[in-house]
Structure 1
Amino acid sequence: MLNKFIDWATQIASKPIGNDVVAQVTESEMSDNPSARLDIDTPTTVARITCWKSGDYDAEVIHIETERTLFSSHGNLQQGLEFSDQFADFFKSLGITTD
């Protein structure tokens, strides 16, 4: 599941997703439960999805100026469901479409 997430996140980060929006994929150091994260920075927000080999994930969007959490979700990735569908609300809170 982690490799599929990395492939998907790399695709997201490699295409333009908005003015002044920067996306980056980072893989963790080796551990018992390796992870990768997709960081997205906009002029007004910082956002991150972290996914672990176990299939667990954390997703969060924070407004920079107010430090208010705009979106937060924790769970387990669902087999057979597209990542774009599973994280649709995350991207919606950023005002970004991934289609």
Structure 2
Amino acid sequence: MVIMIGRILRGTHSVEQAKSYLTMKKRFTCYSHFKESIDTIFEHLQVRDIPEFFKCPTVVTRGLMDIAKNIDSNVTSDQFIFAVHDFLFRRRRGSE
């Protein structure tokens, strides 16, 4: 979900493409697209790093949740927050 939000913000994918991607049983994303998605989300929110991201006011990140709801109307804010935390944790762990 987080990768697709980055791709939608970047303009390379549509909501329909994101829905299709998320229904695939096996999904693969190379590291460069993974990083590109995070960079795009950070740029969109005007933050530089993970600590700044977690300090973003809810009103700022609400736009990301709106995109997530367009992809999957059943996604809850708790699921979305968990997905973002998990995604950023993987990025941090991968860069160490």
Assess same fold via TM > 0.5: no
Q: Of Structure 1 and Structure 2, which has the larger fraction of its residues in helix?
A: 2
Q: Of Structure 1 and Structure 2, which has the larger fraction of its residues in strand?
A: 1
Q: Give TM-score, length-normalised by structure 2.
A: 0.27
With a CA cutoff of 8 Å and minimum separation of 6, indicate the structure with the bigger relative contact order. 2
Q: Give TM-score, length-normalised by structure 1.
A: 0.26
